[in-house]
Amino acid sequence: MDNVNEFEGRHPDHEERIAPHEIELIKYRTAKTTLQFKMITGEMLEGKILWYDEQAIRILQSDKSEITLLRQALVYYKTRS
């Protein structure tokens, strides 16, 4: 597969644009950045993005457990300070 966009798996001639928040998630996933996620319940979770789609983000926590976060239940995510 030559000339394929590594982020989206699409040919670069396609006129689709990647939203800025998606580019940010791609960077965090690729760099294996640890993020903090605040949920609407007030709970704070921390982990690295394994995958994401339009509705969810799957993270790997420091104890090696995996959890899927529904995007509609997220208040925000940020890099660990």
Give me the chain's average pLDDT, please. 86
Q: Is 35 within the bounds of a domain?
A: yes
Closest by alpha carbon to 9, among 18, 55, 21? 18
Condensed to tens digits (0 to 9), the pLDDT of residues 42-59 reads 999 999 999 999 999 999
Higher pLDDT, 34 or 7: 34
Residue 12's pLDDT band, with cuts at 50, 70 and 90, is low
Q: Is 4 within the bounds of a domain?
A: no
Q: Please compute the mean of the pLDDT values over residues 14-33 and round it to a whole number.
A: 85
Please give the Cα distance from 51 to 25 (Å, whole number).
9
| pTM: predicted TM-score of the whole model, two decimal places | 0.75
Q: Is 24 within the bounds of a domain?
A: yes
Where residue 65 sits, what CATH number does that domain have? 2.30.30.100
